[in-house]
Amino acid sequence: MGKKLLLANDHVPGIKNYEVYRANGGYKSVEKAIKTMSPDAVVEEVKKSGLRGRGGAGFPTGMKWSFLAKPEGVARYIVCNADESEPGTFKDRYLMSRIPHILIEGMITSGFALGATAGYIYIRGEYFYIVSILEKAIEEAYQNGWLGKNILGSGFDYDLYVQVGAGAYICGEETALLESLEGKRGNPRIKPPFPAIAGLYGCPTVVNNVETIAAVVPIINEGGEAYAAVGIGKSAGTKLISASGHINKPGVYEIEMGITVEDFIYSDEYCGGIINGRKLKAVVAGGSSVPILPADKILTTPAGEKRLMSYESLSEGGFASGTMLGSGGFIVMDETTSIVQNLHTFARFYHHESCGQCSPCREGTGWMEKILHKILDGHGTMADIELLWEIQAKIEGNTICPLGDAAAWPVASAIRHFRSEFEEFVQNPTNLKKVRHYESVNQLVSA
Amino acid sequence: MAKVTIDGKTIEVPDGTSILQAARMIGPDVAPPTMCYHSKLKTSGGYCRTCLVEVTKGSDKDPRPMPKLVASCRTNVMDGMEVGNLTSPKVVEARKGVVEFLLLNHPLDCPICDQAGECHLQDLGYDHGSAKTRTDFERRTFEKISLGDKIQLHMTRCILCYRCVKVADQITDNRVHGVLNRGDHSEISTYIEKVIDNDFSGNMIDVCPVGALTDKTFRFKSRVWFTKPVCANRNCDKCSGKVHLWYKGEEVLRVTGRKDQWGEVEEFICNTCRYDKKKTSDWEIEGPAEVNRHSVISANHYQVLKKGSEFKLNDIKPLPITEGEGS
């Protein structure tokens, strides 16, 4: 069994409630930070831990915190990004619904470290049942003196609020989230200025993912160095992976970074192998936005070594033969999966979720979906595959926020690694009717 | 001060100048095209991505190039910065893509569009686009909504530059329209079909780079290249009163704000000047407006008198068009 830091007490009955959580060592990090440490020392500890943002980009959290501007007399905010909308990712939902207090505790400790006057948890609208869980947890924290005025007699005042989103993927982008939190249309802001300088209501703001903030709790409890010792290299600590797709045991797993991808998919401790003993075809390793990889490339690196579940190992080989750890949305596809159909589903999602602010993403995402639809309908041509490739190349990097990239990468990687399947769809449209009922393209090719 | 080199041409500009402004100071040869940026509107720009440029050297202090193309209208210069606009193949390629995206769902109904001849999208497509379309999908359409008796909205032509939203936010006292919906279904609309009615609403027409917002009082009266812009002013208690009158014969067909060489309004005007003063006697005529010689409007070239005071309306006569002569 790997080391568990966030879900260590997941099995304890009633851990959702304050008394049980507190009896199992809850809120110790707040006590330790407020009573024995200075805010800067907490930031220093997070820096030492090597914790990286768990929302997808993997930016070092300690460094992000140290960028926060601290002008005199201006409020500072910490915002927790619980707008977990990346297809294939459901780790935050699991954590918040099972152990809500670890997030509250992390928000208090992080808020103390940053000198924030208030914290906001921006949660996606679809998680309405978690809102009440979080609100109850916050209420309990207030009653027990962990929130409010003069926390633990230290003079530190801190309030925590839950804000519910209205169901837009784009509001998971940090500046769109801030706009939405301010009550405006959730359009990403043009950067600079970055939120660390001018974020919520124009004040310096730090936006972190749920898992990142929860990870601050074990870091303060056990020390940054102890946390850094877990995991491998620059991928320190543990990561929650949302495993889904054609596997025997889908679910949320806390893994120590550095285990092999092969182990993760096939060992009984984690995914438990592919359903019905079928063959692995492809994996989307970090949520729908990251490049899809065929079986041989996800299991081994270009250097011929076994690929590991870590930021570095998964991205080895660049986009030509690598991918990203992303938010940890691990989608496994077996040999019966049609990559083109899957890509169409992704493309439809990005088309639906584009905010429409900048032209490449607004027009390009819709265009790609239409072309994929045309190919699936049996009217595609070889030129359409080239066109798809060109469209994604013209979206990538030319948009205001990363949604453009997120829409372009799956298309690029699917064509890069599975071009023959697109060609099959174009050349044998008569076979399509069978394929549309989720029969294997591979079987058709071999037959 | 910061020294910046754009397409090999160097200029020194005050700190805080954007790359676009610096490029415009150097001249039209190196200025990137813009669709959504408007110099008189705060926080405009950044949406259309036509002004993307490549920063090949960040600054003297940090000479690393920027990893992605940047929107020149929203990126400030640094001392020693080097920028590639038309000299950068990456930029030319990306811009071609942007034009293609902007035209993807545009109806291309120029033959019946009032904006034709003074449309920024036409110019952009001509200068930076490709001649062929690569889509045969049905173009997006919207349900028609009415904005009142002054402004005509053609949502199908809109490129979502947000300029009209910023006009309503920044120079009128009450914004009643905005962007509804998301993605490629986004549309300029009023909430529950409210009429846009305030003293400065007409400026939305002037800032619209395409034919999405046109003047209902001018609609279908004439192609713009058959009209002659004349500078005029009047003593107005609401605005500067500095306008262009667009004549056809002796009749004023429409009144607009004056636009600078980049096609951006110099001073916003009120609706009284725009809609209610359409007689020559309402105005003090200054003289013919300067029109870029590449504009189709200058195909209707007329004799230019030296001084405004010597100018008489009846003296504006089209030059004789001789066969075989270029425009």
Q: What is the per-residue pLDDT for B306? A: 47
**β-strand pairing of B81-84 with B187-190:** unpaired
CB-CB: which of B98, B135, B182 is closest to A359?
A: B98
The reply to whether residue B47 touches residue A355, judged by beta carbons under 8 angstroms, is no
Chain B residues closer than 8 Å to A353 by CB:
182-183
The reply to whether residue B137 touches residue A370, judged by beta carbons under 8 angstroms, is yes
Q: What is the per-residue pLDDT for B152? A: 94
Interval A77-96 mean pLDDT: 96
Chain B residues closer than 8 Å to A387 by CB:
134
Chain A residues closer than 8 Å to B158 by CB:
none
The 3-state secondary structure of chain B, one letter per residue: CEEEEECCEEEEECCCCEHHHHHHHHCCCCCCCCCCCCCCCCCCCCCCCCCEEEEEECCCCCCCCCCCCEEHHHCECCCCEEEECCCCHHHHHHHHHHHHHHHHCCCCCHHHCCCCCCCHHHHHHHHHCCCCCCCCCCCCCCCCCCCCCCEEECHHHCCCCCHHHHHHHHHCCCCCEEEECCHHHCEEEECCCCCCCCCCCCHHHHHCCCCCEEECCCCCCCCHHHCEEEEEECCCCCCCCEEEEEEECCEEEEEEECECCCCCECCCCCHHHHHHCCCHHHCEEEEECCCCCCCHHHHHCECCCCCCCCCCHHHCCECCCCCCCCC
Q: How confident is the model at residue A445 (pLDDT cuts 50, 70, 90)?
A: low
Q: Which of A184, A362, A384 should we substitute to test contact with B (largest number of B Cβ atoms within 10 Å)? A: A362
Q: How confident is the model at residue B144 (pLDDT cuts 50, 70, 90)?
A: confident
pLDDT in tens, A108-153: 999 999 999 999 999 999 999 999 999 999 999 999 999 999 999 9
Q: What percent of chain A has pLDDT over 70?
A: 96
CB-CB: which of A352, A360, A400 is closest to B98?
A: A360
Interval A225-239 mean pLDDT: 94
Q: Which residues pair with A209 in a beta bridge?
A: A81
How distant is the Cα of A338 from the closest Cα of chain B, in angstroms?
Answer: 25
Q: What is the per-residue pLDDT for B326? A: 42
Q: Rounded to whole angstroms, how far apart are CA atoms B322 and A393?
A: 49
Interval A270-275 mean pLDDT: 94
**Is residue B293 scored above 90 in pLDDT?**
no
Q: What is the per-residue pLDDT for A215? A: 97
The reply to whether residue B159 touches residue A366, judged by beta carbons under 8 angstroms, is no
The reply to whether residue A365 touches residue B160, judged by beta carbons under 8 angstroms, is no
Helix or strand run (H / E) with residue A98: helix A91-98
Each as own residue / partner, the long-range contacts of residues A249-256 (CB below 8 Å, 24 or more positions apart, any chain) are A252/A7, A252/A90, A252/A91, A252/A94, A252/A95, A254/A2, A254/A4, A254/A5, A254/A6, A254/A7, A255/A2, A255/A309, A256/A2, A256/A3, A256/A230, A256/A231
Q: Which of B55, B101, B169 should we substitute to test contact with A (largest number of A Cβ atoms within 10 Å)? A: B101
Task: Write out the residues of chain B at the interface with chain A, using a CB-CB cutoff of 8 A.
Answer: 45-49, 52, 68-69, 71, 74, 93-94, 97-98, 100-102, 104-105, 134-135, 137, 159-160, 162, 178-179, 181-186
Chain B residues closer than 8 Å to A365 by CB:
183-184
**Is residue B180 scored above 50 in pLDDT?**
yes
**Is residue B36 scored above 80 in pLDDT?**
yes
Q: How confident is the model at residue B107 (pLDDT cuts 50, 70, 90)?
A: very high
Interval B269-298 mean pLDDT: 88
Q: For chain A, how far is it from start to end, CA to CA, in angstroms? A: 43
Token pair in block for residue A148: 């409010």
**β-strand pairing of B213-215 with B242-248:** unpaired
Q: Rounded to whole angstroms, how far apart are CA atoms B194 and B215?
A: 18
Q: Rounded to whole angstroms, how far apart are CA atoms A378 and A435?
A: 11
Which amino acid is it at A47? K
How distant is the Cα of B203 from the closest Cα of chain A, in angstroms?
Answer: 22
Residue of B nearest to A348 (CA): B183
Q: What is the per-residue pLDDT for A11? A: 92
What are the structural domains of chain B?
Answer: 2-90 (3.10.20.740), 120-132+139-298 (3.30.70.20)
Q: Rounded to whole angstroms, how far apart are CA atoms A394 and A386?
A: 13
| Weakest mean pLDDT among A32-36, B98-102, B292-296 | B292-296
CB-CB: which of A170, A353, A363 is closest to B101?
A: A363
**Is residue A75 scored above 70 in pLDDT?**
yes
Q: Which ipTM was obtained for this model?
A: 0.90
CB-CB: which of A352, A390, A397 is closest to B68?
A: A397
Q: Which of A359, A361, A374, A381 should we substitute to test contact with B (largest number of B Cβ atoms within 10 Å)? A: A359
Residue of B nearest to A398 (CA): B69
How many angstroms from the chain centroid is the CA of residue B21? 16
pLDDT in tens, A331-345: 999 988 889 999 999
Q: Which of B100, B158, B181 should we substitute to test contact with A (largest number of A Cβ atoms within 10 Å)? A: B100
Q: Rounded to whole angstroms, how far apart are CA atoms B13 and A225?
A: 48
How many angstroms from the chain centroid is the CA of residue B272? 22
Interval B202-219 mean pLDDT: 95
Interval B240-263 mean pLDDT: 93
- Residue bearing tokens 């790609």: A368
Q: What is the per-residue pLDDT for A435? A: 54
Q: How confident is the model at residue B327 (pLDDT cuts 50, 70, 90)?
A: very low
Task: Write out the residues of chain A at the interface with chain B, using a CB-CB cutoff of 8 A.
Answer: 168, 170, 185, 190, 351-360, 362-367, 370, 387, 390-391, 393-395, 397-400
The reply to whether residue A356 touches residue B46, judged by beta carbons under 8 angstroms, is no
Find out whether B106 and B98 touch, Cβ atoms under 8 Å: no
How distant is the Cα of B49 from the closest Cα of chain A, in angstroms?
Answer: 7
**Is residue A1 scored above 80 in pLDDT?**
no
Find out whether A291 and A410 touch, Cβ atoms under 8 Å: yes
Q: What is the per-residue pLDDT for A312? A: 94
Q: How confident is the model at residue A396 (pLDDT cuts 50, 70, 90)?
A: very high
Chain B residues closer than 8 Å to A360 by CB:
49, 97-98, 101
Find out whether B86 and B63 touch, Cβ atoms under 8 Å: no
CB-CB: which of B47, B104, B179 is closest to A358?
A: B47
**Is residue A352 scored above 70 in pLDDT?**
yes
Interval B242-266 mean pLDDT: 93
Higher pLDDT, residue A178 or A318: A178
